Amino acid sequence: MLQDRCRRQWELLGIRDPEALKRHIKAVFETHDHQEKVLIDLYRMVLPDWERIKTIKGYPEAGNGLWQYICRNFQEFDRRKHPDCLPGGAWMNWGFSINRNLSEWEVSFENCSLIYKS
């Protein structure tokens, strides 16, 4: 189940609470210069089988706190690195969906399915 794999991935990454999650996300933004690389690392954070995935149908869903935190970081990132684009636009177009029924820092895969490479 995707939820369990994500949970195990977070444990391996040392993400055990919202503050550790924030630190991890902040480090992703500090590591890259391009939006695509940031998005990929955020997806890798929740989908540990990233290299084996051919297609994602739907989007992982994030609780309001997590979604807003990532969006604000994307906006700041874009203002610094991509001043000619809409700040946060890549996240709004290709990032996780927001689900206000989840807890603030929760991720769900209820409306997301994966097709793996052969």
pLDDT in tens, 103-117: 999 999 999 999 999
C-beta atoms surrounding 96 within 10 Å: 22
pLDDT in tens, 53-112: 999 999 999 999 999 999 999 999 999 999 999 999 999 999 999 999 999 999 999 999
